[in-house]
Structure 1
């Protein structure tokens, strides 16, 4: 058995958890076993699911920002000792602070130490002075103590390791097969839930409700387009900003909030366009592959890596400082229920290597076993 210890900032909160769990569900569990170290604030139901599946999950009292570099290092060594497992590899997903965990893993004798970048900017607000002082220290730690450097996109790798550094890119992927199985009946049911009229054009947004995902920009677009009676914005997801977004949107008739959903393939097939006006920090958002698998046109901000345009010519990038260009582009979106054409997009993505099987195989190759 090849034992891997994953380090995730807050299990259950973001895309890093999603991709690790996707690998775990699809890998050969007779050959690989995953355990986890995370920080307080992890989602309890996900932690319970992992423990029920046989994984050890150690929850630390905080991250480097909360505990301080030295105390975090000591606490991490203590966590490794309490795990009581001789790990073949450690796979760290905690951004700039990854080097502290990797240094502890090196001290503990873990031979393979993987640093994985999922972002293109420091997401938490901090002072410029702290960034200037801390960034070189953290970069030194994770570059010195990692044996393998990985990123979810070229931009994410350049941010973490430097433009001229060597690193492996493993693009995030999704299980594309369900996008080929969506029926017209399912789509009509989603349309009824949304309250869509026959000629309505549906603009979807699927993301965690948080500052970086920039839902307030969508609300602003919706206000500018209230006179476009056929256009309806449908927002999927929950998160810390959900209560505020719900309050702000309550008087906008062209906004529909649906909360967290598990039927993403049928919803994506119901949308005519998906928008992602993110602030800096996106790595390689899975939602863009999901949208293209459903044959949706996509509008993204300049802060989303252009690498999400994989060759289907469905993605257009517009700067956030030009909201009127967003409005004009949205006015060109037409209702599209050509199922054969949209299914062809999913098939092409599978051929390009963005299916689940290819993704899992590329991920497992990181362990070289």
Structure 2
């Protein structure tokens, strides 16, 4: 690393394809050569170090990937010691950018102890705790103490949305927060050709007149994938010719088994195509007719903006923040889990796909979700400018 570059340490979980990770990599690909990124991956020691989807690309872009056990695996004192040791090894960063939501407070303290001057905590989620009473209580108590540490040791408070900021940051600093839009590379999504779409659909044996619905994301409970199967059952009962495409990582195998059981119960095996992890998400999204997402809660929901960039309508639960709507008339919000309401909305919007690339591009840029403009803002903030 050249000494004249501004050194940023990104503190993350495993760099797999998720909304925050995709956003961060889009910034990394776009940011000027005046910046150097290193990545510190927090991993569960019982599972061990796992290679992330983006690790090779990080290395190819000149970054390094270091690893540290989670703060709960190591304990606070050992975590702080190892964090400092890693910073000494790579050279004390000018900036630390922390992306671990409710775990960010202790990391901010560790960064302060390591001698880092600019400490950014970036909230990527509207935090909601689920599970047993005891687990929920423990999580809330932990968050309380993490918030205290965030308030004391953080210099910059960023979030994917106002909802995400309000979820993690305490009232005294709520007016000092900055919303960093989860922006997209518009050109990448608009440059998918009709030939690529045809080839993709043909590879999955999808008919020309088949309605193609889809979703991209991790398979975990809060994404509410099981409810999508209920919607598809209603579509099937209507006799509609459709296919549902899902691309993403299985992060909850038990939940995936529950979904598979429901698919078998509803006799939808031939209607659903699970693609797993893909490197061609722009092609996948562009090949859909409708994007369907009933996630219970999203800090932002980058893939919904990606879908709008391709011109396809989106049917979303109100767990998505309203800021995800680019004002193109492509987004429908539904506030309940009444599958009949979702069915009716899907039928209503199935022919609403927009082909006006110039209008779409202009709308996304004007809303502040273009990756090039977004990265310029991030550069200024890394350097210490005040952005209002």
TM-score, structure 1 as length reference = 0.90
Residue 213 (structure 1) shift: 1.7
In the superposition, relative to structure 1, how do residues 186 and 57 fare at CA in structure 2: closer, same or farther (>3 Å)? closer
Residue 271 (structure 1) shift: 1.5
Residue 297 (structure 1) shift: 1.1
Q: 1: CA distance between counterparts of 2:28 and 2:80?
A: 27
The one of 250, 255, 258 equivalent to 2:275 is 258
Is the Cα contact below 8 Å between 1:293 and 1:343 reproduced in 2?
Answer: no
- 2:50 equivalent to 1:35: no
Is the Cα contact below 8 Å between 2:328 and 2:360 reproduced in 1?
Answer: yes
After TM superposition, which residue ranges in structure 1, 4 or more long, deviate above 6 angstroms? Answer: none
Map residues 133-212 of structure 1 onto 2, 5 A cutoff: 133-162=141-170, 165=174, 166-212=176-222
Secondary structure of 1:283's aligned partner: coil
In the superposition, relative to structure 1, how do residues 358 and 137 fare at CA in structure 2: closer, same or farther (>3 Å)? same
Residue 288 (structure 1) shift: 0.8
Residue 42 (structure 1) shift: 4.2
- 2:75 equivalent to 1:68: yes
Residue 188 (structure 1) shift: 1.9
Aligned partner of 2:325 in structure 1 is 309
In the superposition, relative to structure 1, how do residues 231 and 343 fare at CA in structure 2: closer, same or farther (>3 Å)? farther
The one of 222, 225, 237 equivalent to 2:248 is 237
The one of 221, 230, 237 equivalent to 2:231 is 221
Secondary structure of 2:382's aligned partner: coil
Residue 364 (structure 1) shift: 1.3
In the superposition, relative to structure 1, how do residues 140 and 356 fare at CA in structure 2: closer, same or farther (>3 Å)? same
Q: Pairwise CA RMSD of aligned residues?
A: 2.4
Residue 32 (structure 1) shift: 0.7
Map residues 17-56 of structure 1 onto 2, 5 A cutoff: 17-29=21-33, 31-40=34-43, 41-44=49-52, 46-56=54-64
| 142-151 or 242-251: bigger deviation | 242-251
Q: 2: CA distance between counterparts of 1:360 and 1:8?
A: 19
Secondary structure of 2:237's aligned partner: coil
Q: 2: CA distance between counterparts of 1:326 and 1:28?
A: 43
Q: Which runs of 5+ in 1 are unaligned?
A: none
Aligned partner of 1:5 in structure 2 is 9
Is the Cα contact below 8 Å between 1:205 and 1:276 reproduced in 2?
Answer: yes
Is the Cα contact below 8 Å between 1:93 and 1:116 reproduced in 2?
Answer: yes
In the superposition, relative to structure 1, how do residues 176 and 292 fare at CA in structure 2: closer, same or farther (>3 Å)? same
Residue 320 (structure 1) shift: 4.3
The one of 345, 358, 373 equivalent to 1:329 is 345
Q: 1: CA distance between counterparts of 2:358 and 2:90?
A: 48
Q: 1: CA distance between counterparts of 2:167 and 2:12?
A: 19
